[in-house]
Amino acid sequence: MPQVLFENVKLNNTISLNNRILMAPLTRCMADDDLVPTDDMVKYYAKRAKAGLIISEATIIRPDGQGYPNTPGLFTHAQIAGWKKVTDAVHAEGGKMFAQLWHVGRVAHPYFFDGEVLAPSAIGVEGTVPRMRELTYQTPKAVTQEEITQLVADYAQAAVNAIEAGFDGVEIHGANGYLIDQFLHYAANQRTDEYGQTPENMSRFALEVTDAVADRIGADRVGLRVSPGAYFNMDGDQRDRAVFDVLISALNSRNLAYLHVGIFDDAMEFEYLGGSASAYLRSIYKGTLVGVGSYTAESGAEAIQNQKFDLLAIGRPFIANPDYVEKVKAGQAVKEYDESMLATLD
Ligand code: FNR
Ligand code: 8K6
């Protein structure tokens, strides 16, 4: 049994976790048509409450943040009430839960809302919406500074809504090629104003969102997920490194609950980062780092022991094994994940 995983950890004066295993955020596309969490989602999360911390599936902060069918929201009373049932059930099982706050930026599709697709620059992504192959991605509109101010305010309001919904905190989704990440990479950001062109400018939006959210709910309750290595909905550029150098150094003084790497396989190396995304973050970030990406309990525990990161997030194996934590603790074999498992919410 990888003992290090089962230690209690104090993230700060506000939040302590029963163990070092986090349930990674996992989009399931199973909210109802008003993007309200369902009773099946209540059961799904409650069954996984033995995780030290559950991070919810990515949850949109406002209608134009949507790029996939039936992803939940946190901007209506019904959505807040739906999430309250989820967090109550998780708390009743002794668990803790953060909401992952999401705006997909240029990966949005107006099929899901009335309005324009917004992004840092008018540079589209190739391809079509998963599961809805007839919907081709559009060229987005470059956001104005006024729209940026509104987006920052909307992230902060969604964080307040998350606390009202009973979440213990929020994880700002700054990873995987979505809106915040689009500001951080040259491939998606060609702005010429104070949000583009230099590392300081390109990291501004991410820091403004982080600060606005922390101002409203307290930095102790805020995590941030970032993908310094571009791998999904985004092309990497060696100049991106300098942007993340500035961003991650600036985060050191923010006293967040944690920083979480966004990646599918942490064995992936990025030339411009000089290695894996997690090793790069560890080299700059002084606070609690969450590792993820194709780890088993054993390989994750070893990485923690070798101080590669402090907490381990587990994604796909948690879909396959609602009782992942109990199984690992008992030394039992875990069931293999299979994509067909995405069809149902067990
Ligand atoms: C994901 N991942 C993901 N990441 C994120 O930040 N927000 C999300 O909503 C989702 N949704 C999602 C859905 C599905 C079906 C998969 C497989 C993945 C990425 C996830 O959090 C994690 O980083 C990866 O799955 C890698 O970890 P594992 O699965 O190898 O433990
Ligand atoms: C975050 C919302 C996504 C909707 C759910 C689908 C996720 C399924 C997994 C997609 C896999 C993409 C992985 C790309 C990684 C390439 C690494 C070389």
User: What is the distance in A from the centroid of ligand 1 to the CA of 23?
Assistant: 10
How far apart are the CA of 130 and the centre of ligand 2, in A? 10
- CB burial readout 209-243, b (16+ within 10 A) else e: bbbbbbebbbbbbbbbbbbbbbbebbebeeebbbb
Any ligand 2 atom below 6 A from CB of 264: yes
- Tell me which ligand sits closest to the C-alpha of residue 67: 2
Q: Decide the pairing of beta strands 169-174 and 21-23.
A: unpaired
**Ligand 1 nearest atom to the CA of residue 171, by list position:** 6
Which value does ipTM take for this structure?
A: 0.95
Helices marked H in the chain — which ranges? 39-46, 77-92, 145-164, 179-184, 199-202, 204-217, 240-251, 277-284, 297-305, 316-320, 324-329
CB distance 100 to ligand 1 below 6 Å: yes
Check pocket membership of 337 for ligand 2, CB cut-off 6 A.
Answer: no
Residue pair 223/258 in contact (Cβ under 8 Å)? The answer is: yes
Query: Does 130 contact ligand 2 (Cβ within 6 A)?
Result: yes
DSSP 188: T
CA 16 to chain centre: 20
Q: What is the amino acid identity at position 91?
A: H
80 vs 76: CA distance, rounded Å = 6
CB 150 within 8 A of CB 103: no
Tell me the whole-structure pTM to 2 decimals. 0.97
Residue type, position 236, single letter: G
**Residue 44 to residue 105: CA distance in whole angstroms:** 28
pLDDT of residue 16: 98
Residue 174 DSSP code = E
The first and second tokens of residue 310, run together, are: 């402090």
Element (H, E) at 291: strand 289-291
Q: Percentage of the chain surpassing pLDDT 70?
A: 100
| Catalytic residue annotation | 178
Amino acid at 256: L
Q: Which of 178, 234, 264, 290 to mutate to test the pocket of ligand 1 (most atoms within 8 A of CB)?
A: 264
Confidence check: pLDDT of 217 > 80 = yes
Helix (H, G, I), strand (E, B) or coil at 47: coil
The span from the CA of 314 to the CA of 304, in Å, is 14
Ligand 1 centroid from CA 197, angstroms: 30
Q: Is 264 close to ligand 1, i.e. is its CB under 6 Å away?
A: yes
Q: What would the pLDDT profile of 228-261 be if each residue is shown by its tens digit?
A: 999 999 999 999 999 999 999 999 999 999 999 9
Under a CB-based contact definition with an 8 Å cutoff, are residues 326 and 49 in contact? Answer: no
Q: Tell whether the model's pLDDT for residue 1 goes beyond 80.
A: no
Instruction: List pLDDT tens digits, range 14-34.
Output: 999 999 999 999 999 999 999
**Nearest CA residue ID for atom 14, ligand 2:** 232
Distance CA 158, CA 164 (A): 10
List, for residues 54-110, the tens digit of each pLDDT value: 999 999 999 999 999 999 999 999 999 999 999 999 999 999 999 999 999 999 999
Half-sphere exposure of residue 293, counting CA atoms within 13 Å on the CB side? 23
Ligand 1 centroid from CA 264, angstroms: 7
Q: What pLDDT digit, counting tens, does each position of 291-305 carry? A: 999 999 999 999 999
Average pLDDT over residues 46-53: 98
Give the pair of three-digit tokens for residue 28.
Answer: 């399931």
Ligand nearest to the CA of 104: 2
Q: If you take atom 7 of ligand 2, which residue's CA is the nearest one?
A: 27
Burial letters 46-64, b for 16+ CB under 10 A, else e: bbbbbbbbbbbbbbbbbeb
Determine the distance separating the centroid of ligand 2 and the alpha carbon of 232, expressed in angstroms: 7
pLDDT in tens, 118-143: 999 999 999 999 888 789 999 999 99
